[in-house]
Amino acid sequence: MLPALRRTVVFLRESQLLNKIGVALSITIIAVAAYILYHIVKDIDVDNVINALRETQPVHVLLAGLFVVLGYFTLTFYDLFALRTIGRSDVPYRIAALAGFTSYSVGHNVGASVFTGGAVRYRIYSAWNLDAVEVAKLCFIAGVTFWLGNAAMLGIGILYQPEAASSIDQLPPWLNRVFAVAVLAVLVTYVAWVWIAPRIIGGAQLSVRLPGGPLTLLQVAIGIVDLSFCALAMYMLVPDEPFIDFITIAVIFVSATLLGFASHSPGGLGVFDAAMMVGLWQFDKEELLAGLLLFRVLYYLTPFIISLAILATREMMSGVKAARAIGAVPDGQEAPPRTPLPRETDSV
C-alpha cells in the first residue's frame, strides 16, 4: 500500500495536479462567496450599519481588542516552538515574537500566507544565520501546529454542536458529527504515531523530525488557545440578541476562517464574511456586519499597520548600522567577516 501511495504522490507532484486543483478550488470558493455575499448585503441599509457601530458598547470593543492581543501573543509561540524543534534554541523569544507577529499579520492581510509570511520570516531570521532550508522547516512545523489546533477545535466543537457546522455546509447534523469523529480519530492516530517512535519526514536537507507525543499535545494546546482567543474576540462583537453560545460561534468562526484561508484571498475578504453571515443568519444583518467590520479593524488592519511600521523601522535601523559599519572601515581595507552566532542542536 505504501509504494502505491508514494507513486500517487510522485504523480501528483510531477503533473502539478494538486496546484491546479488548489487554484480551481480557490476560484470556486471566492465566486460562490461573492455570489452569496452579494445577495445578503444588497438590501442592507448603510445608515443602520453606522448606527450599529455607534451603539456597540465600548467595553465589548476593548475586550475584543484584548482577546486579539492575546491571540497574537499565542501566535508567537508557533515560531518559538518551531525554532526549538529544529534545534535553534540560540534564537531568543523576542526574535521569535517579532517574526511570528509580523509574518502572520502580513500573511493574514496580503494572502498566500505560506509565501508572504515565509518571506517576512526569512528576512528576520536570516540575521540570526538561519538559511532558507531552516526557515522552510520552521514554517512547516508552525503550519503543523496551526492545523493540529484547527483539527482539535473543529472536531470537539462539531462533535458537541453539529448544528453549528450545518448552518454553513448545509449537511445534516448527524453527518457533521460523523465528520467530527473522523477528524478526531485522525488526530488521535497522529499523536499515537509520533508517540510510539521518533518520526522523520522528508529527505536530504529537507528532512524534519516531528515532535514526539507530549510535544505534539503541546502543539494542539497552543493551536486551541490561539483559536479560542480569536473566537472570543468575535464573540464579543456579535449582537447580544438572540443569544448564541460561544461553542456555536467558535465552530462557525473557525469554519469561516478556514474557508477564507483556502480561498487565498487577502484576509479571507468576502469569503470569511459570507460564511459568517450565512452561519449566523439569526442575527440582524446590519448589526452582524458592524461586528465583522470591527473585527477586521481589530484583527486584520491594526496589526497589519503595526507590523509594517515595525518592519520599516527595523529596515531603516539596519540601513543606518550598515552605513556606520562601512564608514568605520578605513579606505583600502575590507570589513571583517561577520562572526556567525553559535548554533545549538537542543530540541524542545
pLDDT digits (tens, 9 = 90+) for 233-243: 999 999 988 89
With a cut of 90, say whether residue 319 has pLDDT above it.
no
Beta-bridge partner residues of 201:
208
CB burial of residue 173 (10 Å; 0-12, 13-18, 19+)? middle
Beta strands in 16-165, from DSSP E residues, in sequence order: none
> Residue 145's pLDDT is what?
92
Half-sphere exposure of 321 (CA within 13 A, CB side): 6
- Mean pLDDT, the chain, rounded, equals 83
| CB 155 within 8 Å of CB 173 | no
pLDDT at 336 over 70: no
Amino acid sitting at position 180 = A
The predicted pLDDT at position 36 comes to 67
pLDDT score, position 9: 46
Backbone CA torsion sign across 105, 111, 116, 117: positive
As a whole-number percent, the residues of the chain with pLDDT over 90 amount to: 47
Give the CA dihedral 138, 30, 291, 256, nearest 10 degrees.
-50
88 to 66, 96, 103, 268: CA distances (angstroms)? 31, 11, 18, 32
CB 46 within 8 A of CB 294: no
3-class state of residue 130 by DSSP = coil
208 and 133 in contact (C-beta within 8 Å)? no
Q: Which of 79-83, 168-172, 317-321 has the lowest mean pLDDT?
A: 317-321
User: In which band, very low, low, confident or very high, does the pLDDT at 205 lie, cut at 50, 70 and 90?
Assistant: confident
Can you tell me the mean pLDDT for 1-11? 48
Identity of residue 27: I
pLDDT at 8: 53
pLDDT at residue 257 greater than cutoff 70: yes
What is the C-alpha separation between 288 and 171, in angstroms, rounded? Answer: 24
Supply 42's cell numbers: 444588497
pLDDT in tens, 154-181: 999 999 999 999 988 889 999 999 999 9
Who's near 243: CB < 8 A, 6+ residues apart? none
On the question of pLDDT at 1 being above 50, the answer is: no
> What pLDDT sits at residue 21?
64
Amino acid making up residue 181: V
Q: How confident is the model at residue 70 (pLDDT cuts 50, 70, 90)?
A: very high
Residue 189's CB: how many other CB atoms inside 10 A?
Answer: 9
The predicted structure's pLDDT at residue 15: 55
Whether 176 contacts 182, CB under 8 Å: no
pLDDT of residue 26: 62
Does pLDDT of 111 surpass 80?
no
Count how many residues are written for the chain: 348
**38 confidence band (pLDDT: 50, 70, 90):** low
Question: Is residue 316 pLDDT above 90, yes or no?
Answer: no
